[in-house]
Amino acid sequence: MSGNSFGSIFRITTAGESHGRANVVIIDGCPAGLPISQAEIQVELDRRRPGQSSITTQRKEADKVEILSGVFEGKTTGSSIALMIANQDQRSADYSEIKDVYRPGHADYTYQAKYGHRDYRGGGRASARETVARVAAGAVARKLIAVAGIRVVAYTVQVGDIKSVTVDPLQTTWHEVDQNPVRCPDQDAAKKMEKLIKEVRKQGDSLGGVCEVAALDVPVGLGEPVFDKLKADLAKAMMSVPAVLAFEYGAGTAVASMRGSECNDPFVVQEGEVSTESNRHGGMLGGISSGMPIRMRVTIKPTSSLPISQRTVDIHGQATEIRTKGRHDPCLLPRFVPVAEAMTCLVLADHLLRHRVSRISYLLTNT
């Protein structure tokens, strides 16, 4: 109700502030019998972890996950799964500046106005640190959808003005993505992006970009009409992540200037299966997965925290300036990639389960 839960059957609830004791997520609705280990979750957290490369924030967080419940002898029990990631680097910092000044592009002002009382340390609940809980839960979701053969991969396709050539998600795995710190599988573009990030960081500025996310081998039939279309839930998932300003799938914004005859994907039969010749529909028709690859693009704004001076006001309504001290990602893309994957896995896990109750014939097995 207050926005800390996501999903309907496979449902997560998160808690935790940037500089609080810990981030916690409870997963309710994960079926029993799924093998999962702390180590498997840790792998995903390590991809999101601060300090992992020269172009990410140098905040020190081990981000070690602990499974507190719901897993027994290496398998889920059907009970709620609690995961905790303790915060280590709770600097006894001097927060006097951000305590009293609204940082441009941040939620300081809106939280203060909404709640009348806020945890200003590092942005509190509004910090992107909360995505650590999403990634932990997403690791469990990924294992669940893997049971149905689904694979999810995300990667950077644009940083500032530098765009990668079109990447084929079918040929892309973590192996290609993680070969460079930008997480762009087009290695030439990645080099330019990395260079640009370093330059802009030196200028005390930051960069936006675009992430592409793909879900492969998604069975046909996932998505619930009319409000919980798969595209709608994926859009919400992505737009719920800090700094995301735009979402599109398939041909996306380009369809505005297409004719219907150019846009529709003709149906064909391939190896006995209904498929489409092209994939401008991005793997979803009527909000339901079609069996074709699901492709989405997500636009992220440049990091709001900047070491250079910005004009703003303080909580007393006085004009002032602010410089945010150190330890921020100059570009959010590299660490957004695992978050985008996590959110996609969470949506697909939920819809995979929801789809299991959509036909009487599905109920007759194993009852």
Do 299 and 314 contact (CB within 8 A), yes or no? no
Selected binder of a copy of itself within 43, 54, 58, 78 (CB under 8 A): 78
Do 15 and 4 contact (CB within 8 A), yes or no? yes
Cα–Cα distance measured from residue 71 to residue 82, given in angstroms and rounded to the nearest whole number = 9
Selected binder of a copy of itself within 38, 52, 53, 80 (CB under 8 A): 80
> Minimal distance in Å, beta carbon 268 to a copy of itself?
6
Cα–Cα distance measured from residue 282 to residue 194, given in angstroms and rounded to the nearest whole number = 29
Residue whose pair of structure tokens reads 């819809």 in the numeric block: 351
Selected binder of a copy of itself within 84, 136, 139, 182 (CB under 8 A): 84
Task: Measure the CA angle with vertex 215, ends 214 and 219; round to 5°.
Answer: 150
> Residue 71: is it exposed, middle or buried by C-beta count within 10 angstroms (0-12/13-18/19+)?
buried
Which segment (49-57, 81-89, 166-174, 177-185) binds a copy of itself by CB under 8 A?
81-89
Closest CB to a copy of itself among residues 5, 173: 5
Contacts with a copy of itself in 216-275 (CB under 8 A)? Answer: 219-221, 223-229, 231-240, 242, 244-253, 255-269, 272, 274
Binding flag, residue 141, a copy of itself (CB under 8 A):
no
Contacts with a copy of itself in 321-350 (CB under 8 A)? Answer: none
Do 240 and 343 contact (CB within 8 A), yes or no? yes
Contacts with a copy of itself in 100-129 (CB under 8 A)? Answer: 102, 104-107, 109-111, 113-119, 124-126
> Minimal distance in Å, beta carbon 365 to a copy of itself?
4
> Minimal distance in Å, beta carbon 308 to a copy of itself?
6
> Minimal distance in Å, beta carbon 134 to a copy of itself?
9
Binding flag, residue 67, a copy of itself (CB under 8 A):
yes
Q: 90 — phi, psi (to 5°)?
A: -85, 75
Closest CB to a copy of itself among residues 175, 259: 259
- # of chain residues touching a copy of itself (CB under 8 A): 167
30 DSSP 8-state letter: P
Binding flag, residue 300, a copy of itself (CB under 8 A):
yes
Distances (CA, A) of 364 to 31, 261, 355, 357, 361: 18, 42, 14, 11, 5
Q: 341 — phi, psi (to 5°)?
A: -65, -45
Strand partners, 84: 24, 66
Contacts with a copy of itself in 45-64 (CB under 8 A)? Answer: none
> Minimal distance in Å, beta carbon 151 to a copy of itself?
15
